[in-house]
Amino acid sequence: MTGSASERRRMAAALANKGVLTLPWLRGAVESVPRERFLHPGVFLDEGRTWRPLTALGSDPDEWLKIAYSVDTLATQLDGHLAADQVSEAVAGVPTSSSTDPTTVVGMIEALDLKAEHRVLEIGTGTGYSTALMCHYLGEDNVTTIEVDPQVAARADATLETVGYSTWTVTGDGLLGHPRRAPYHRVIATCAVRRIPYTWVRQTRPGGIILSTVGSWPWGTGLAKVTVKENGTAEGSIIKRSSFMQARAQAVTPVAGDLSARTAYADSEREARVSPLRLEEWVPAFLAQLSVPGAHFVRAATSEGARLLYLFDPERADGGGWVVRQGGPVALWDKVERTLIAWQAAGNPDITAVQLRVTDRSHAYWVDGQPALRWEHRVDGGY
Ligand SMILES: C[S@@+](CC[C@H](N)C(=O)[O-])C[C@H]1O[C@@H](n2cnc3c(N)ncnc32)[C@H](O)[C@@H]1O
């Protein structure tokens, strides 16, 4: 090992000490794959409201390695086009590609229960670092990775090639999977999806595993692990809290404009039976999304500083606070409130109590023994 060998060993030891990295082959991969190479041409460092570009060529080599081996998520693209070598000053923007923090990446790969002969489909290549970790064990022919952004895909493909993995890097929409190389033993998504696309189930062998973050709010999302059955359905549970950037086609456009005007015409007003502030907690937020899939959650304040919480669905606007005003054909808050009350009555179960089943017609979620915590989203119902 050369160059960054000691940083790689140090990072592997830190992940092992945290109990995240337990598999010997994966430790070997973390010690071998040079993360800094995957960050070219550079990264954007979070400065609160802006992002400071830092390029490999423009920085001190020691500083570059220190950043590359910090266990942080490092943004590598903003707003769907901007790379760190295209600006010299800090800029505002929204990260659209990144190298996910190694704790999350390694934790997800561990949860995949990989065997050396497995064929894997990865959705969201990003820098290609997670792809390389899997190639190290499975071999380049057994890993297919899909990236929706052509520039990101081209960069990842070139880096993977230079570090020695001529894997299958596909440019396209990973929500469709990649039928040409199916069936896969494992599907892993390193972007969040509103629900697991049935195409992934169809492209996975019976007994195979799909691992993906589900949900669409910036928090309150969970890591779903489902096993595909002989009958073409997939079943499993939410195994932990998890947070990822949303799959591009499903990214939520921020609700803009005068929110009070949008909610001025309420059809009803009443006291909330449960505090809407519950929606700022992870598990209630996850369950609320199951009750009103597709709704956007917006935090705001009045000019006097009083807090306002809004739930919007793509076509209809509803309001929520301690006094709840609802408008439009669907009473979003009524649905959310029923769920939160049932969750509290069940003793506030953790997100890991949620199980799910994916079929070609519907997505069912439930908590065992709790009839009021059960949802079925029909695929043709859309959201
Ligand atoms: C968090 S990054 C991936 C991290 C990566 N695995 C790593 O650690 O290097 C998420 C990536 O998913 C990509 N992405 C978003 N939507 C996608 C889609 N529908 N299909 C394939 N890739 C997608 C983004 O462009 C972004 O590069």
Burial of residue 239 (CB within 10 Å: 0-12, 13-18, 19+) is middle
pLDDT, one tens digit per residue, over 96-146 is 999 999 999 999 999 999 999 999 999 999 999 999 999 999 999 999 999
pLDDT number for residue 24: 98
Low-confidence ranges of the chain (pLDDT < 50): 1, 315-317, 320-321, 382-383
Distance separating alpha carbons of residues 167 and 139, to the nearest angstrom: 8
- The answer to whether 47 and 91 are in contact (CB under 8 A) is no
pLDDT number for residue 283: 97
**Which amino acid residue places its CA nearest to atom 27 of ligand 1?**
126
Q: Is the CB of 147 under 6 A from ligand 1?
A: yes
Distance separating alpha carbons of residues 53 and 73, to the nearest angstrom: 14
Cα-to-centroid distance, 345 and ligand 1 (Å): 38
Q: What length is written for the chain?
A: 383
Distance separating alpha carbons of residues 140 and 149, to the nearest angstrom: 21
**Which has the closest alpha carbon to 88: 126, 44, 28?**
44
Q: Is the CB of 105 under 6 A from ligand 1?
A: yes
- Could you tell me the maximum CA-CA distance found in the chain, to the nearest angstrom? 67
Cα-to-centroid distance, 292 and ligand 1 (Å): 26
Q: What is the dihedral of CA 244, 246, 247, 252, to 10 degrees?
A: 180
Indicate which atom in ligand 1 lies nearest the CA of residue 149.
Answer: 25
Kindly report the number of other CB atoms within 10 A of residue 63's CB atom. 10
Indicate which atom in ligand 1 lies nearest the CA of residue 245.
Answer: 1
- Element housing 131 (H / E): helix 129-138
Tell me the two tokens of residue 322: 């301690």
Q: Is the CB of 248 under 6 A from ligand 1?
A: yes
pLDDT number for residue 381: 53
pLDDT number for residue 314: 56
Cα-to-centroid distance, 280 and ligand 1 (Å): 26
Indicate which atom in ligand 1 lies nearest the CA of residue 76.
Answer: 27
Q: DSSP character for 346?
A: T
**Which has the closest alpha carbon to 86: 148, 41, 47, 46?**
41
pLDDT, one tens digit per residue, over 252-266 is 776 667 777 777 777
- Element housing 283 (H / E): helix 282-291
Indicate which atom in ligand 1 lies nearest the CA of residue 248.
Answer: 16
pLDDT number for residue 317: 43
**Which amino acid residue places its CA nearest to atom 16 of ligand 1?**
247
Q: Is the CB of 127 under 6 A from ligand 1?
A: yes
Tell me the two tokens of residue 3: 């160059």
- Element housing 107 (H / E): helix 102-111
Q: Is the CB of 160 under 6 A from ligand 1?
A: no
- pTM for the whole structure: 0.92
Tell me the two tokens of residue 195: 């629900």
- The answer to whether 144 and 168 are in contact (CB under 8 A) is yes
Q: Is 362 a catalytic residue?
A: no
Show the domains of the chain with their CATH numbers: 100-248+351-378 (3.40.50.150), 259-345 (no CATH)
Active-site pick, 4, 97, 98, 99: 98
Instruction: State the residue for tokens 């520039």.
Output: 151
Provide the 3-class DSSP secondary structure of residue 287: helix
Q: Is the CB of 126 under 6 A from ligand 1?
A: yes
pLDDT number for residue 21: 98
**Which has the closest alpha carbon to 122: 290, 244, 27, 23?**
244
Mutate to test the pocket of ligand 1, among 125, 144, 157, 195 (most ligand atoms within 8 A of CB): 125
Q: Is the CB of 212 under 6 A from ligand 1?
A: no
pLDDT number for residue 382: 47
For residue 192, give Cα distances in angstroms to 140, 316, 317: 25, 24, 25
**Which has the closest alpha carbon to 149: 104, 186, 98?**
98
